[in-house]
Copies of this chain bind each other. A is one copy, B any other.
Amino acid sequence: MAKFEPSEAVLSGETADVYFAHTVDILGKEKLNPVATMQVFSSRAGILCGIEEVKALLARVLPEDNREVWALGEGEAIDRKEVVLRITAPYQSYGLYETAICGILAHCSGWATAARECVDGAAGIPVISFGARHVHPSVAGVMDYSAIIGGCQGCSSIAGARLAGVEPSGTMPHALIIVIGDTVKATLAFDKYMPTGVPRISLVDTFKDEAEESLLVAQALGDRLNSVRLDTPAERGQVTVDLVKEVRARLDLAGFQKVKIFVSGGVDIERIKQFIAEKAPVDGFGIGSYITSAKPIDFTADLHEIEGKPIAKRGRIPGITLNPRLKRIM
């Protein structure tokens, strides 16, 4: 499981909304530091993710002798408006971190929820997160971690794999093939230098027809070839159900029944469902922007008690909201 460490930028309040800095400042000057209960709830249903990183932050900032924290667990399914976190502690100890707490949960839960959709749609066929290239590198790791919490078997970024405690998944990029200038040669070079544990997955759409290149690399590597990856670009109609069936059939005809087929390139939940419904012989899906373009699941934090007395802003109900699924974590 991931080991999260709050960054200096978060701890210093640098990433916070400035009005929380003002608030802590004003309350300090007013010498107001009541024990306050804050509850955090989600704007829609999904998969909760980021709570581990939030816990790491709270463990650093809440006073050990005056805190009580209840939460749901990483990866749990949550309902719309469900309270997922409740903090009771002196307000000044955590007021500055409302922005970070909500932001971590929002972004991570959004990614995990989209990943879960894909995994559910894929009906048992492994799904790998391939979207690091679509997000800012500062969150590439947590994005991939969230996808794995959502059910993905692996991810392409080194940072994400480290957080999730898995090996990063990779095939080969078009760049390797273009620099070497030939798919078969590139695959042979990959095979020559990569450690034994790295599966040999050849990308077969760079220079020739996918079916043709599949047979060429299969003939070149023989039993060492683990998979071919089809990543046909939109300019060529993307990977279709029929293309997968045809490559499978041509590989089988040539005796390469053991070579798997891995599909990527603009795969989303609709296309996953189509591949499954039409029984395309896919052995793995690589998902990019469907996960990375998922909307964050916005979370809202509200104070519900001050020094044990129920209070709330208009639109919220004063006092603690019961949620029997919450577990005390601190």
Residues of A within 8 A of B (CB): 7, 9-10, 13-23, 25-27, 29-30, 32, 34, 36, 38, 50, 91, 95, 98-100, 102-104, 106-108, 130, 132-142, 156-159, 161-162, 168-181, 189-190, 193-194, 198, 205-209, 211-212, 232-238, 240, 242-243, 245-246, 249-250, 253, 288-289, 292-293, 295-296, 298-299, 302-303, 306, 310-319
Contacts and interface: CB of A to CB of B under 8 A. Distances in A.
A139 B138 contact: yes
Given A23-B176, A27-B179, A237-B232, A136 B16 contact: no
5 contacts: A14-B162, A18-B157, A104-B136, A104-B137, A138-B138
A132 B19 CA distance: 12
Given A95-B175, A103-B137, A107-B136, 20 more contacts: A9-B159, A14-B158, A16-B157, A25-B193, A29-B193, A38-B175, A103-B136, A104-B137, A135-B296, A178-B303, A179-B306, A181-B306, A208-B212, A235-B242, A235-B246, A236-B315, A246-B316, A249-B319, A288-B298, A289-B296
Contacts of A15: 132, 137-138, 140-141, 157-159
A256 B317 CA distance: 15
A32 B180 CA distance: 8
